[in-house]
Amino acid sequence: MQPATRDIKLARILIHHSLKLKAKECILITISDFNALPLVKAVFIEALKTGAYPVVDTQINPFMNRGGATGLRYQFYKLANDWQLNYIPSEILEAQMKWANAYVRIVTIDNTQELNQIAQEKITTTNKLVRPFLDKMIDKDRWVLTYYPTPSMAQNASVSLDWLLDFYYKSCIVDYDKMKKQLTKIEKVLDDGSIVRIVGKDTDLTFSIKGRLAKASYGERNIPDGEVFLAPVFETIEGKVYFDLPTNYNGADVSDIHLEFEKGKVVKATSKVGNKAMQKILDTDPGARTFGELGIGVNYQIKNAMRNTLFDEKIGGTIHLALGSSYKEKRGGAPVGFNKSAIHWDIVKDMRKKGSILYVDDKVLMKEGKFSIGNRVG
C-alpha cells in the first residue's frame, strides 16, 4: 500500500517540524503493528530523503505500555511466571536508546479492553522496569507520538472509521507555526504566575507554579497537538478535583473521578467506574499519588471527547492533570524537585461547563472554556 497525499504531508510535519531531522542522524520509528503502514512508509521515505538512517521496530513486546498486537500482551500477562514478569531485555532497549537521535512512535491499538482481565499488579511490575528506558527517550526531547486510527479507536469514540480517519488527518495537518504564536501568550501568563486555582463542579484545587516555566506544545511531541503545560510544585497541591471525561489506563476504564489532596498527596480517591483499578494504579509508588503535570487544551478543532487521551487532552477549553512523573526539562517540567513515578496518567477535565474557572494568581486565564487573559478577578 502506497502512502496517500495526506500521509506524505503528515510525514513531513513529523520529520521536519517535530524532530527537525538532519542528514546522517539515526531515527527509530516504533510501531504497534502494521495497521498504519501508509503513514509508516511515508515517514520512512521522508527520513531517507532527508539523508537520515531510519529503522522501523515493530514494538509488539508485551512490556511496552502503548502498543502490542492484539492478544500478545494478554497472553504474556496470563502465562508469564515471576521470572518472566520481572525480566526486561535491557540490552536491547539500552542499545535502541543509545543508537537513535530521534524517535517517532506511531501507536495503533486494536483492543483497548485487552488487559481488563489482567491484575493491575502484573502490569505495574513491568511498567516500573521499563520506565527508566522510556525516560531516557523522553529526556532527549526529540520524540513525537501519534495514535493512528483503528476500528477499536473509532468504536470507542462512537464514530465510523472513515470519519475518524478524515478527522485525524484534519486535526494533525495544521499550521503549527500559527499555533505557536497563539500558545506563547498563555505560556507567558504561566511563566509569570505563582499560584494556580481550578474551580468548577466538585472542584476547588490550588497549587504553586512559582519558579516553573510553561511549555507551549505545537506539534513537537504530540500529533495532533495544542496545549500548554508545566509541572506544579507538587508538595503544594491542596483541595479537591472532579474529572468528568472518561479515561483508560493500562486497559482499565475509569470515569467520574474524585480526588482530594493534602500537602501534595491524594488522601481520598473514588470513581464511579473502575474504582478498584484506580486504587491499584495509585498504589504503584509514592509518586503516583500526586500530579506531575498541569496541561491546558487549546485545540478548538477537537471538540468532542474521543476516549483517547492524546486527543482529549488537546480539546480547546479543557485542562488535564497527570498523576505520576513530571518531565525534567526546564520548560514544561521540573529540573529540580520533579515528581518521580512509573506512571504518567493524564486525566482530562472539561472546563467548558458552567462555573468552571482557571485562575493564575488574581487573574482569570480561562472561564467556561474561553480564554480571558488579563482580566482581573473582582
Q: Where are the domains of the chain?
A: 5-172, 176-376
114, 150 contact by CB (below 8 A): no
173, 10 contact by CB (below 8 A): yes
**Cis before 54 (ω within 30):** no
- Rounded Cα distance between 291 and 339, Å, is 8
Tens-level pLDDT at each residue, the chain (378 residues): 789 999 999 999 999 999 999 999 999 999 887 889 999 999 999 999 999 999 998 765 544 555 555 677 888 889 999 999 998 888 988 898 899 999 999 988 888 778 888 888 888 888 888 888 888 888 878 999 999 999 988 998 899 999 999 999 999 999 998 999 889 999 999 999 999 999 999 999 999 999 999 999 999 999 999 999 999 999 999 999 999 999 988 778 899 999 999 999 999 999 999 999 999 999 999 999 999 999 999 999 898 888 888 999 999 999 999 999 998 889 999 988 889 999 999 999 999 999 999 999 989 999 999 998 744 332
Domain 5-172 sits in CATH at: 3.40.1830.10
- Rounded Cα distance between 47 and 288, Å, is 37
- pLDDT value of position 377: 34
Q: Is 256 exposed, middle or buried (0-12, 13-18, 19+ CB in 10 A)?
A: middle
182, 152 contact by CB (below 8 A): no
Cα diameter, the chain? 61
- Rounded Cα distance between 317 and 314, Å, is 9
DSSP assignment letter at 18: I
Alpha helices for 239-314 (secondary structure H): 275-282, 309-312
Grid cell of 244 as nine digits:
468528568
